Amino acid sequence: MDVVYVKYDAFVAACHRAVRMGEHYPADDPVVKAMPDAFTADPRYGLQWTGAPPPEMAEAPAEEPVEQATAGPGEKRNARRAGGA
């Protein structure tokens, strides 16, 4: 039997049923067919643990900081306007 996991809390109006993140259902269940975008085959959504999260659940490392596009309050930028005299 294929099993799918709920990705987020939702109410499936067609089935008059609330589903909660992490619950699992058979892939051919009517509630899954009524709202397929709320389910995934990824078992991490049903995973529970105690202590430190397993490596698969750790957050992705931070990327390089994004440069701020506009000046902050009181900050002056060294920018030139195009077409100046």
pLDDT higher than threshold 80 for residue 18: yes
| Helix runs in 1-83, H state only | 30-34
Confirm whether pTM is higher than 0.85: no
| Domains in the chain: boundaries | 3-42
pLDDT at 78: 73
User: How confident is the model over 24-70, as pLDDT tens digits?
Assistant: 999 999 999 999 999 999 888 878 788 887 787 766 566 666 667 77
Closest CA to 7 of 25, 17, 26, 20: 20
Q: What are the contacts of 31-36 at 24+ separation with CB within 8 A?
A: 32/4, 35/10
Q: What is the pLDDT of residue 56?
A: 76
Write out the two tokens for 36.
């397929």
